[in-house]
Structure 1
Amino acid sequence: MPLRIGVLDGDGIGPEIVPVAVDIATAAATHADLDVEWVPLAMGRSAIDTLGDPLPPATLDALDDLDCWILGPHDSAGYPDQFRGQLTPGAVIRKRYGLYSNLRPARVYPGVPSVSGAIDLLIVRENSEGLYADRNMAVGSGEFMPTPDVALAVGVITRAASERIARVAFEQARRRKKHVTVVHKANVLTMTTGLFRAACYDVAGDYPDVTVDEEHVDAMAALLVRRAGDFDVLVTENLFGDILSDLAAELAGSLGLAASINTSDCKAMAQAAHGAAPDIAGRDCANPVALIESTAMLFDWWAQQFDDDRGRDLAATIRAALTATLDAGEMTPDLGGSTGTAEFGRLIRTRIGAR
């Protein structure tokens, strides 16, 4: 049976970068002797225009039968009025499948100009609660206004979710440099992020081979700028992880490098951390690196889930060709190059073929 992977192009630059990532993965799959079936699914503005819904029921029904998929960016701010204020397609998918773990790597690629020359870290972000209004209420939004001049937000931290994401972080660290840094703000948010910190340290007891330390989130931001190379795995709650991962990506060279994978215990979704960038859509200048790396992460997850080295080989093939292309100075305009999106993908596929 082939490995079946859903493909949702999305909005803005999505229809440009998602096919590039799929084509590269298809070429790498040939080398790994892995049969992959790509399942195209409707999502975003094109789905509204053709089916009247940014995330049609048929798409969700199809995802129910798939272990993993690639999600392009969505531009919900550009949807017709009746769809604004609703959960975004990505949020609906995260909630439906309980994608509680968001892994966001940041590393400097050879040949890519960067602010910091020594970044190779992984931010493990709790993805299901915190201060995000779409994730922490059984009914209604976590933001509300008792009067027109007062706005309140509910932040939720639970021991169960904190321990769950901590285990993900420590397992990831065991495959890296065996160092976890717990990022919190327990000096001010004593009960909420204090609970998060305590839960992480409780889990640390099960991983005596992994070094664990901690930083306040504001200090962590400063330390990333000063000495990001000293860190390995950062584990933190939702909002802090969102902010720190964007900072780390820019320090590594560009938000266009910001890969991401969202996982539960049995489902995974590759999704670049950046948005749909509608201002450059259709101009063949978007950077597909983040989604290419996100796709490699998807195959790493699958390989680990099913103990299949073909997935690891496929991911390694993608990364080797991507790194060689960037190191040769062939990169998109946001990185200082002049290579178009489609040509960038072709150059990577050519290198895979040469292998």
Structure 2
Amino acid sequence: MSGPRLLLLDGDGIGPEIVAATREVLAATSDKFGLGLAFETAVIGFDALRTQGATISEATIETARNADGIVLGPVSHNDYPPAAEGGLNPSGVLRKRLDLFANIRPAATRPFLPHPSSTGFDLITVRENTEGFYADRSMHAGPGEIMPDPDMALAIRKITRTACRRIAEAAFDLAATRPARHVTAVHKANVLRLSDGVFLEECRKLAEANPAIRYDEVLVDAMAAHLVRDASRYDVIVTTNMYGDILSDLAAELSGSLGLAASLNAGTDHAMAQAQHGSAPDIAGKGVANPASLIGSAAMLLDWLGQRRADGALATAATAIGKALDAGLSDTATRTPDLGGSATTAEMTQAMIAAL
């Protein structure tokens, strides 16, 4: 079997810098473990808007569909023009078009990094990725937000039983591989009785089918408070799109920094590594962007490919990247300024490669 073909998409802001750093780490890992990784690129974001008339083209979507995995740099989609003028969110488009229904976001404290959490913890948020309140994902045609008149705005939240079932399955499958074997479903069914009710019904079915896994339910507002008070109580958190987006950012910051937050968008046939943070245009081009989030995400992509291909070398390589990442983060001399260090992006990247 030939090595995986990975599509690298730079994005905007610091995207090109951290994608380049991630490519260096992946290339070094490929050489060390004989993975035979092959890289190809395509243009997205503002560069694509200028040259192709849209921030992501149909040709790029098809290239992504045919790749074995995707590494997506952050994009400045809040600054794009309307979708009708080509300002599509590449992340949302790829999640929807490739059916990347599970957004897996780990967050764990590290003993050598300061963190605001009152306790150490290691948890994963499993976030539904293809529907909910997100306007670009809740409708077949047209946006999920409408304005009947200038003084009224309405948002449509789509929750389907199929999507709830498969995200619950993803959470329970993941929990079965972890020592705590614990799933917490986060919801607001005391208010959104129908939509969150469907979500909970599917979670409860999976809990009944997996009695060896501990299961509980927490309201989303209470969960925010519990994470701040003691995040070590939780193992695998499963929830709908918007709740998961917010809670996973909170968990990442409690672990030390959103700049450390790895993220994998996974479906049945495709997966995409994506930094959990944004494009940080204020530091773009200064050589100080923290590549840790995207490098950690790329490690998750290799692990996903290893499971899919039953290839132990890919899984071993993913673990090695995680250890190299920790080595680079353990010393202030090889940490970027956002983490209290003095290293440039390139210096931090080289430290990780040396640690391989």
Give me the TM-score of the superposition, normalised by structure 1.
0.96
Partner of residue 315 from structure 2, selected from 312, 317, 323: 312
Which of 322-331 and 208-217 deviates more?
Answer: 322-331
The CA deviation at 1:196 is 0.6
> What amino acid sits opposite 1:131 in the alignment?
F
State the alpha-carbon separation in 1 of the partners of residues 283 and 226 from structure 2.
Answer: 33
Matches within 5 A, 1:1-355: 1-79=2-80, 86-116=87-117, 117-176=119-178, 177-329=180-332, 330-352=334-356
Q: CA deviation at 1:55?
A: 1.2
C-alpha distance in 1 between matches for 2:107 and 2:83: 37
Is the CA contact 1:120–1:229 (under 8 Å) kept in the aligned structure 2?
A: yes
Q: Which runs of 5 or more residues in structure 2 are unaligned?
A: none
**1:56: Cα distance to partner?**
2.5
Larger mean Cα displacement after TM superposition, 198-207 or 225-234: 198-207
Whole-angstrom CA distance in 1 between matches of 2:121 and 2:110: 9
* 2:209 aligned counterpart, secondary structure: coil
Q: CA separation in 1, counterparts of 2:175 and 2:294?
A: 23
Q: In the alignment, residue 266 of structure 1 is paired with which amino acid?
A: D
Alpha-carbon distance, 1:87 to partner? 3.0
| Whole-Å separation in 1 of the counterparts to 2:83 and 2:296 | 34
Q: 1:311 to 1:46 in 2, by over 3 A?
A: same
> How far did residue 194 of structure 1 move?
1.6
Residue 81 of structure 1: CA displacement? 6.6
Aligned partner letter, 1:306: R
Identity percentage over the alignment?
A: 48
User: Is contact 1:110–1:323 with CA below 8 Å preserved after alignment?
Assistant: no
Task: Write the deviation string for residues 310-334 of structure 1: whole angstroms up to 9, x where unpaired.
Answer: 1111101101111112122321111
**Could you say what secondary structure the match of 2:298 adopts?**
helix
Q: Secondary structure at the match of 1:123?
A: strand
Counterpart residue type for residue 218 of structure 1 = D
SS in 2 for 1:205: helix
CA distance in 1, matches of 2:205, 2:51: 50
The answer to whether the 8 A contact 2:71-2:273 is kept is: yes
Let me know the Cα RMSD of the aligned residues: 1.5
User: 1:82: Cα distance to partner?
Assistant: 7.4
SS class of match (1:60): helix
So what's the TM-score if we normalise by structure 2?
Answer: 0.95
Q: CA deviation at 1:231?
A: 0.7
Q: Tell me the amino acid that sits aligned with residue 56 of structure 1.
A: S
Amino acid of the structure 2 residue aligned with 1:312: A
Residues 100-109 or 82-91, more deviating = 82-91
1:293-350 CA deviation, whole Å, 9 max, x = no partner?
1000001111111111111111011011111121223211111111111110011111
- In 2, the alpha carbon distance for the partners of 1:2 and 1:312 equals 13
Shift in Å, 1:205: 1.9
CA deviations over 1:252-276 (Å, ceiling 9, x no partner): 1111112111111010000111111
* 333-342 or 220-229, which deviates more: 333-342
1:21 and 1:295 in contact (8 A); partners too: yes
- Cα distance change of structure 1 residues 46 and 85 upon mapping to structure 2, 3 Å threshold: closer
| Contact 1:110–1:326 (8 Å) recurs in 2 | no
Alignment deviations for residues 121-144 of structure 1 (CA, whole Å, 9 cap, x no partner): 000000111111111111211110
1:119-176 CA-to-partner distances (Å, cap 9, x unmatched) read 2100000011111111111121111011111111111111111011000000011111
- Between the aligned partners of 1:62 and 1:275, the Cα distance in structure 2 is 24
